[in-house]
Chain A
Amino acid sequence: MTIMTDPPQESFRLSMLLNDTRYRSYTFQFIALIVLIASAAFLMSNLFSNLAAAGLNISYQFLGSPAGYDINQTLIAYDSQSTNARAALVGILNTLLVAFLACVTATIFGVIAGVLRLSNNWLVSKLMSFYVEIFRNIPVLIWIIIIFTIMIAVLPGPRAFRGDEPSASMVLNAVAFTNRGVYIPAPVWGPGSLVVVATFILSVFGVFAYRRYATKLLYDTGRLLPMGWPSLAILFVPTLLIYFIMGMPIGLDYPELKGFNFSGGIKVGGPLIALWFALSIYTGAFIAENVRAGIQAISKGQSEAAGALGLRQGRIMNLVVLPQALRVIIPPLISQYLNITKNSSLAIAVGYADVTATLGGITLNQTGRAIECVLLLMLFYLTISLSISAIMNVYNNSVKLKER
């Protein structure tokens, strides 16, 4: 006769906190919590006693007081009487501007270099490897300084445009390349220009509609409509027509040499160009590697299979290889965008007024509020990075291969 016994009901003993895996994790977390609180308390008490000893305090009131300095490139209205907070905002917008521009061009550089590096042309692919290696292995700070120095030394100053026989002249009488920046004509919006712009926007939608229609027709009937020239026609013909019908409402304001500088037109500042170019060409080298890795990650069988189906080279790339490669390329690409945003903080090396230079530079210098400024600065970058990461996660989930 057997007696079924329940396993003995273990009562909770203190030693189980150490020896039983079920409870041990609580012990560890409890210890971690204590350590965390203790170290936070330690650091905070140090901070406050140090500040008290120095007679300082933490206060953000300086944000509301006038900044007192001027900024040379602002996207929003700003003068020296604006507040420090507005100066910080100007800096934030400038950071976002250079980051956005650099992301676009870096992608272009990167894709071109990545594809060319895989090309059969020996010279081109060697040249591209050279580009990638030389930019990846030298610090971006050195590149920014080198490119800025090149720009300052090679491009002429506005003085060179002056005189009867100037040593430099404007390109097409419209664009001036100087070492202070590039001056380009600015559009002048006359009455009725709104109509032209609206037409153009509608045309863009029109192009998309046409392409959808053509694709649908292809799938339904197998009839292939031409794509290239009708798209161009839809894009430009109505806009140009309206433009002339409305009596050419959009003019151009050409830059002109007046006094010390060019005036009129739009000035793209030298520091912005140097930083933009340096960041794009530096990050482009990394993106090129990502693109190359992405394309090479697609097994050769894929393009062979596509070839066996009778697709032409361009279509193999567009329809088979790239869609699959993008899945591999895009996550590292987005982290490169993140890097661009973070590296744009090196703007202080060239005097571009990004947020590190305004909030973390001149404002910090002038108010002496180091802790507050650095905290705000970190908060800003953290927000940007976390937003980009969030976008990346959404994307990753949407393209994730649905596995069993």
Chain B
Amino acid sequence: MKKSVFFGALTVAGLAAGAAAAGTLDDVKARGKLNCGVTTGLVGFAAPDANGEWNGFDVSVCRAVAAAVLGDASAVEFVPTTGKTRFTALASGEIDMLARNTTWTFSRDVDLKFTFVGVNYYDGQGFMVPKELGVSSAKDLDGATVCIQTGTTTELNLADFFRSNNISYEPVPIETNAEAQQQYLAGACDVYTTDASGLAATRATFEAPGDHTLLPEIISKEPLGPLVRHGDNEWGDVVRWTLNALITAEELGVTSANISEMAAGTNNPEINRLLGTEGTLGEMLGLDADWAMKAIAAGGNYGEVFEKNIGESTPIGLARGLNAQWTEGGLIYSPPFR
């Protein structure tokens, strides 16, 4: 028995999840649950609803991975993390993957030793102002008080932007979105800045969303994506290709509605390879042949996930924009399944 003595009893009790193994994939399979780090609550991306069910765009990635690995989209333990705790949680093995609107940057990749497996949302930092201020460009914001939601690269981008435009501002760093919103609405700050998607999500919850406007400037590149620890490439591959499977599924027109039909076999060899009716892709990953099918069936393909959680039909109402498929002028592009 590999487990240490006293932890034996505790493990059974669920107090201490125990035991190392060779790889994260084996750990997850042995545990029967995927531990997925998410934000503590950002509507549209990851937030618990009134029944305590987690929902959102990032959450769907977790569910897809769980479905691919374990065959059960609900076998996910969501671990809420703050900007502070997320990297330690991942590095120390408390979570298997982090899907928490985290920007892919050089230092996080190289210095903090994480592997970003891809980008599931191309974002950029934007500004929201009340319409009555009559501001039409972020360059008019000289002297403004800016509410910043801390925890991502927001503060740094903001400092760079104001510095390069040689205008001044007063930062008000705030921990949670709810509190930032409260201050912004009370007029304690003139501008609220965070990722444009977050702004849209926040504005959607206002009493009068029409009174607020998003400024045209997007001051940073924020490729958000799920990440895993360095050094466990098998697991990294599983997460990367699960994400790619969702993207490819949209490109090839595989949806949760027609997937069972397509799984019977189609004329398109790539679909067949994706869904496991042809080739041995699943085996190469160490998963079942129909891993991608389960992942797609869990919440639909990339486009469906987008539309359901943050798309134009939802209160958040984000357009696809950069996040359209490459065939439609966007940046979402998956390497081929071959």
Q: Are A and B part of the same complex?
A: yes
**Residues of A bordering B, CB below 8 Å:** 50, 53-56, 68-72, 79-81, 149, 152-153, 156-160, 179-180, 258-261, 263, 270-271, 348-349, 351, 353, 357, 361-362, 364-368, 370
Chain B residue numbers with a CB within 8 Å of A149 are 182
Closest 9 CB pairs of A and B: A157-B187, A80-B159, A69-B155, A55-B113, A260-B144, A68-B156, A259-B143, A368-B112, A152-B186
Query: In the complex, what distance in Å separates the CA atom of A370 from the CA atom of B94?
Result: 15
Nearest chain B residue, comparing its CB with the CB of A263: B143
Query: In the complex, what distance in Å separates the CA atom of A153 from the CA atom of B183?
Result: 9
The DSSP consensus for interface residues of chain B is mixed
Q: B111 to A351, Cβ gap below 8 A? A: no
For the complex with contacts A152-B183, A261-B145, A368-B107, 9 further pairs of A-B residues with Cβ separation under 8 Å are A54-B113, A70-B155, A72-B172, A179-B186, A180-B189, A260-B144, A263-B143, A271-B172, A351-B175
- Can you sample 21 A-B contacts with CB below 8 Å? A54-B92, A55-B113, A55-B231, A70-B171, A72-B170, A72-B171, A80-B163, A81-B163, A152-B183, A157-B186, A179-B187, A180-B170, A260-B145, A261-B170, A263-B143, A351-B175, A361-B84, A365-B150, A366-B153, A368-B87, A370-B88
**How big is the B interface, by class?**
35 or more
Chain B residue numbers with a CB within 8 Å of A366 are 153, 155-156
Contact of B159 among A56, A70, A270 (CB under 8 A): A70
Total residue contacts A-B, CB cutoff 8 A: 111
Chain A residue numbers with a CB within 8 Å of B158 are 69-70
Chain A residue numbers with a CB within 8 Å of B111 are 368
**Cβ of B230 < 8 Å from any Cβ of A?**
yes
Q: A258 to B173, Cβ gap below 8 A? A: no
Contact of B188 among A81, A180, A263 (CB under 8 A): A180
Chain A residue numbers with a CB within 8 Å of B108 are 368
Chain B residue numbers with a CB within 8 Å of A271 are 172
Q: B112 to A56, Cβ gap below 8 A? A: yes
Chain A residue numbers with a CB within 8 Å of B87 are 368, 370
Q: B113 to A56, Cβ gap below 8 A? A: yes
Chain A residue numbers with a CB within 8 Å of B263 are none
Q: A364 to B84, Cβ gap below 8 A? A: yes
Q: A179 to B188, Cβ gap below 8 A? A: yes
Chain B residue numbers with a CB within 8 Å of A68 are 155-156, 159-160
**Cβ of B190 < 8 Å from any Cβ of A?**
yes
Chain B residue numbers with a CB within 8 Å of A349 are 175
Contact of B83 among A53, A351, A365 (CB under 8 A): A365
Question: Given A259-B143, A261-B170, A361-B84 in contact, is the A50-B159 Cβ separation under 8 Å?
Answer: no
Chain A residue numbers with a CB within 8 Å of B143 are 258-261, 263
Contact with A along B265-309 (1 / 0, CB 8 A): 000000000000000000000000000000000000000000000
Query: In the complex, what distance in Å separates the CA atom of A179 from the CA atom of B91?
Result: 40
Query: In the complex, what distance in Å separates the CA atom of A180 from the CA atom of B152?
Result: 24
Query: In the complex, what distance in Å separates the CA atom of A71 from the CA atom of B171?
Result: 6
Nearest chain B residue, comparing its CB with the CB of A145: B179
Query: In the complex, what distance in Å separates the CA atom of A55 from the CA atom of B115?
Result: 12
Q: B229 to A260, Cβ gap below 8 A? A: no
**Cβ of B237 < 8 Å from any Cβ of A?**
no
Q: A158 to B187, Cβ gap below 8 A? A: yes
A59 to chain B, nearest CB (A): 10
Q: A70 to B169, Cβ gap below 8 A? A: yes
**Cβ of B32 < 8 Å from any Cβ of A?**
no
B198 to chain A, nearest CB (A): 16
Q: B150 to A152, Cβ gap below 8 A? A: no
Query: In the complex, what distance in Å separates the CA atom of A68 from the CA atom of B161?
Result: 11
Chain A residue numbers with a CB within 8 Å of B187 are 156-160, 179
Q: A55 to B142, Cβ gap below 8 A? A: no
